[in-house]
């Protein structure tokens, strides 16, 4: 039978189907078409890039400077960089979340500078003047490349605290699993980006559909550096129980700070910085730097309410 014969046979078969069977077939076809579109376009649907390029000085960070790194695939990464004010101070490697260009975090970076720390803030591809398109694979590769670069320039990896905010927490975990660092801060983290999306869509999307997975819970067991976990108990973007599930899976030294009344964007306060972030980072720095350096001490509250520990999965 030639192609024309097959087409005619198919049309005849379709014409003979009852209405319910035609409806079911069209519904199934629509589902597969939707899955194909989501698979091919998911990076454009997931990442909300902000290419607005603002220099650190224009954001009020006079001690910081902008630098560029050329990647192996010929893309340009924009970094904000500041040197520490005292030898052996912590050096923060900051990995931002979705929709968060560097200039939107200037107020937070000022806290690092006021403490005398150094920091390097990486603008992922498509953000803050960095070229290219973001994605899990390239985000992790760029973070590793940035860490290797600052280490080659003389920054002791033992004083580096990788700070991953929201979606950036998944990148931070994979970086810390691949390289030795002084510590890791997970700011409003998640257990698995893929599973959060699947849960919110009624589990109708198959696992194989996701190219962007950020399965942090599968990676965190490889992290040996101390971890500071920060989460707000009113976070409706990444529910507390998803973040707590990740914390429970961590095997190394770990500390939890539950910020009561804070939503996903409410952790950036001076109080949280003084009581949790500064204590953690300067303890890491003292562990690998001059023991005579004295930082401001504060108390980390490791207690989480047991009713918030129930996993969704």
Cα distances (angstroms) measured from residue 227 to each of 116, 129, 164, 230, 254: 22, 30, 11, 10, 5
Give the H or E element holding residue 80.
Answer: strand 76-82
Pairing between β-strand 76-82 and β-strand 118-123 as defined by DSSP bridges: antiparallel
Count of helix runs (H) and strand runs (E) in the chain: 10, 8
Report whether pLDDT(313) > 60: no
| pLDDT single digits (tens) 168-187 | 999 999 999 999 999 999 99
Cα 131 from Cα 276, distance rounded (Å): 34
| pLDDT single digits (tens) 32-58 | 566 556 666 566 667 888 888 999 999
Residue 31's SS3 state is: helix
Structure tokens that stand for 283 in this block: 């303890």
Domain residue ranges in the chain: 3-45, 50-308
Confidence class of residue 193 from pLDDT cuts 50, 70 and 90?
confident
Q: For residue 227, what pLDDT is reported? A: 93
Cα 296 from Cα 213, distance rounded (Å): 38
Residue 239's SS3 state is: coil
Cα 287 from Cα 277, distance rounded (Å): 16
Structure tokens that stand for 307 in this block: 């009713």
Q: For residue 26, what pLDDT is reported? A: 60
Q: For residue 101, what pLDDT is reported? A: 83
User: Which CATH number applies to 50-308: 3.40.50.1820, 3.30.450.20, 1.10.760.10, 3.40.50.1220?
Assistant: 3.40.50.1820
Cβ contact 96:124 at 8 Å: yes
Cβ contact 234:259 at 8 Å: no
Cβ contact 92:119 at 8 Å: yes
Q: For residue 289, what pLDDT is reported? A: 44
Cβ contact 66:80 at 8 Å: yes
Residue linked to tokens 């998944």? 170
Torsion of CA 128, 132, 137, 142, to 10 degrees: -50
Q: For residue 252, what pLDDT is reported? A: 78
pLDDT averaged over every residue in the chain: 82
Cα distances (angstroms) measured from residue 308 to each of 215, 229, 242, 245: 21, 15, 9, 10
Q: For residue 286, what pLDDT is reported? A: 65
Residue 236 DSSP label: S
């Amino acid at each position: 039978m030639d192609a024309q014969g097959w087409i005619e046979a198919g049309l005849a078969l379709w014409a003979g189907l009852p209405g319910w069977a035609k409806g079911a077939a069209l519904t199934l076809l629509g589902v597969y078409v939707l899955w194909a579109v989501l698979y091919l376009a998911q990076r454009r649907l997931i990442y909300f890039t902000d290419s607005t390029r603002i220099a650190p000085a224009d954001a009020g960070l006079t001690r910081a400077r902008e630098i560029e790194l050329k990647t192996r695939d010929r893309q340009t990464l924009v970094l904000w960089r500041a040197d520490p004010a005292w030898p052996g101070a912590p050096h923060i490697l900051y990995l931002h979340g979705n929709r968060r260009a560097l200039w939107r975090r200037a107020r937070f970076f000022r806290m690092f500078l006021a403490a005398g720390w150094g920091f390097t803030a990486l603008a992922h591809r498509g953000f803050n003047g960095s070229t290219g398109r973001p994605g899990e694979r390239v985000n992790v590769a760029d973070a590793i490349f940035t860490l290797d670069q600052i280490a080659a320039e003389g920054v002791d990896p033992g004083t580096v605290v990788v700070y991953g905010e929201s979606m950036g927490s998944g990148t931070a975990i994979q970086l810390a699993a691949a390289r030795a660092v002084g510590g890791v801060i997970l700011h409003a983290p998640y257990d698995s980006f893929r599973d959060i999306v699947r849960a919110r869509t009624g589990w109708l999307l198959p696992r194989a559909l996701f190219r962007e997975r950020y399965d942090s819970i599968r990676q965190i067991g490889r992290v040996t550096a101390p971890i500071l976990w920060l989460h707000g108990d009113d976070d409706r973007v990444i529910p507390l129980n998803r973040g707590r599930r990740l914390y429970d899976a961590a095997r190394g030294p770990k500390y939890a700070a539950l910020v009561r009344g804070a939503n996903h964007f409410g952790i950036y306060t001076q109080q949280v910085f003084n009581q949790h972030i500064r204590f953690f980072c300067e303890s890491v720095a003292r562990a690998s730097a001059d023991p005579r350096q004295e930082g401001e001490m504060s108390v980390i509250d490791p207690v989480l309410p047991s009713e918030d520990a129930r996993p969704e999965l």
